[in-house]
Amino acid sequence: MVKIPMPLTPFHIGPALLLGLIFFKYLDFPTFMLANVIIDIEPILVLLLDLNYPLHGFLHSFLGGTIVGFFLAWIMNKIRDDLSPLLRFFKIEQKSSFKSILITSLSGIYIHILLDSMVHMDIKPFYPLDLNPFLSGSTLIWLEIDMLSMWSFIGGLLIYAIRIFLIRRKLTN
């Protein structure tokens, strides 16, 4: 059974939100959220442009992901100050350095590749090697990943709500 990826596959947002908030002190939150979905530009372009190319090709490898990760880190470092008003509005402002943005970018992209590697047969995470040691043999892997995503998203929303509550409580005291 082939599952068509949805644009910016939503199942990456749940784990990104949860991990991004749990490790908020160490990760650049907006970079982490974007890094967890940016790799899906590849299947989106393949589908939209009807390309004769695997849905999960080079960008879904650690080599391709690393290149995207450096590019994303460079961009996020350049626009980081412009994001400050939005981050302040959502009460998720942080100080960041290029080093933290780069580590965050690569971490998010590698998590995306690992999650997708468990499910998609066309992924070759160690390209140019033609193997995927992470591919699950479970017939329920789609359900497992979707459930992980859903519960992670709910957990992330809960952590965010607690964060907002504590910030407002601190402001009123």
Q: Is residue 7 within 8 Å of residue 44, measured between CB atoms? A: yes
Provide the domain limits for residue 37: 10-172
Q: Is residue 3 domain-resident? A: no
Report CA-CA distances (Å) from 79 to 24, 31, 96.
Answer: 19, 11, 12
| Average pLDDT across the chain, whole number | 91
State the average pLDDT over residues 154-173.
92
Peptide bond between residue 128 and the one before it cis (omega within 30 degrees of 0)? yes
Contact 86, 94 (CB under 8 A): no
- Structural domain includes residue 4: no
Tell me what pLDDT residue 83 has.
Answer: 94
Q: How many domains does the chain have?
A: 1
Q: How far apart are CA 134 and CA 46, in angstroms?
A: 23
pLDDT in tens, 47-79: 999 999 999 999 999 999 999 999 999 999 999
How much is the average pLDDT of 74-103?
Answer: 95
Give pTM, 2 decimals: 0.89
